[in-house]
Amino acid sequence: MTNDLATAPLRTRAPGTRPRRAGIASLSALALGAFAVGTTEVVIAGLLPEVATDFGVSLPTAGLLVSGYAVGMVVGSPLLTVLGARLPRKHLLFWLVALFTAAGLLSALAPGFEVLLAGRVLSALAGGAYVGTAAVVAAGLVAPERRASAIATVFMGLSLANVLGVPGGTALGQALGWRAAFWGVTAIGAVLLAAIAALVPPIPRERGVGFRQELAVFRRGRVWLALAATAFGWAPYLTVLTYITPLLTEVTGFDDRTVPLMLVLIGIGMVVGTPLAGRLADRALLPTLYGALAGITVVSAFLILAVQSKPAAIVGFLLFGLVGAAVIPPSQTRVLEAARGADNLASAANVSAFNIGNAGGPLLAGAALSAGRGYTSSLWIAAALGATGLTLALATTALHRRTHRHRTSAATRR
């Protein structure tokens, strides 16, 4: 029996129980929650001018609604997961959705900017913990050989949010006022509450695994390397998207009306890439992870040349959406396997790692632009971040194999 990360099983259920097989309804309910979280996270970006005017604040101040959400996701995912560790997983999901829905309602009714910001942070706290928990639940509902595909189904909700939720919510907010977007998210939350209650089967806590046991797993160096690989490997995505408008208009020569269409094209690539990567990761986890990280590195580098041509840019950004989404399922699965015995906390920590990448990449690109490096500097930075993520992923495997060899040698000597 091998102890390699690529084949080691996840412990997502109590010992002695038989594996559950999830119907499409259960996984769809979990994906609906990810769709709501993804929509809520990004939809505000297109409505910032309206919010700033309504509350009489500057646009940079209104931008705190975006950065505040990212910070809330980083902090809230592990925090609420720890606080809810004693709850059965279905109950934890239900209460996280209830908090997320209440936060959406608070945002829709906010009488002032500070209350709206509080609503955004609460949404992020609940949303980050929800996505991490939903990924663990999905992995535990299926046979071991289908876990990456189940995780991909959950994250498909995030991909669909980019294609449907964000454009639809932005259009709704622009037509009926920014509050309408939050009313829409609140409505989705109410539907999600009913879906979780009706469609997700009861999932008890794993016996004998508590917070201290899960925290002890984080003494493993490979867990931190795997989390770092997630952060660096995902960072190219938002690094490029943050500055896609000036890239397309100032470098490629498209007009402003093309930008939403290109974003939809990237979203289509994500919808294709997410399930494809899940199926491939079920068959060969490590090659899929390495391939996805190499892909986002190569495509980011290709875009440096492709943005000089309209046809090449269209192809390049479609591929970028595909390889960007392909990073998600194997990264999430890899972290769960590296941190076996700490499924809840590891999944939540990986959601935080994704959001650290979301914050760090654009920050580096912004610094390069401020230094006068030009719009294509974001693509150079994205390629470098992807290459770093690939290096860290390879280092994770090397560390695991070295540790395993030392343990095997020690056991042999005894």
For residues 222 and 5, what is the distance between their CA atoms, to the nearest angstrom? 10
Q: How confident is the model at residue 164 (pLDDT cuts 50, 70, 90)?
A: confident
Helix (H, G, I), strand (E, B) or coil at 339: coil
pTM: 0.77
Buried-state track 27-44, b at ≥16 Cβ within 10 A, e below 16: bbbbbbbbbbbbbbbbbb
For residues 137 and 144, what is the distance between their CA atoms, to the nearest angstrom? 13
20-24, 193-197, 286-290, range with the lowest pLDDT: 20-24
Packing angle, helices 221-242 and 310-326, rounded to 10:
150
| Number of residues that this document lists for the chain | 414
Instruction: Give the mean pLDDT of the chain.
Output: 84
Highest mean pLDDT among 196-205, 339-348, 389-398: 389-398
Percent of the chain with pLDDT over 70: 89
For residues 240 and 357, what is the distance between their CA atoms, to the nearest angstrom? 12
16 CB neighbour count, 10 Å cutoff = 6
Q: What is the predicted pLDDT for the residue at 362?
A: 84
Amino acid symbol at 213 = Q
pLDDT tens digits for range 70-112: 788 887 778 777 777 678 888 889 999 999 999 999 999 999 9
pLDDT tens digits for range 384-394: 999 999 999 99
CB 312 within 8 A of CB 305: yes
Please tell me the number of Cα atoms within 13 Å of 43 on its side-chain side: 34
Q: What is the mean pLDDT of residues 184-189?
A: 93
pLDDT tens digits for range 295-307: 999 999 999 999 9
Q: How confident is the model at residue 1 (pLDDT cuts 50, 70, 90)?
A: very low
pLDDT tens digits for range 36-77: 998 888 788 778 788 888 999 887 788 788 778 878 888 777
Q: What is the mean pLDDT of residues 387-414?
A: 77
Residue 312 has pLDDT above 90, yes or no: yes
Which of residues 402 and 294 earns the better pLDDT score? Answer: 294
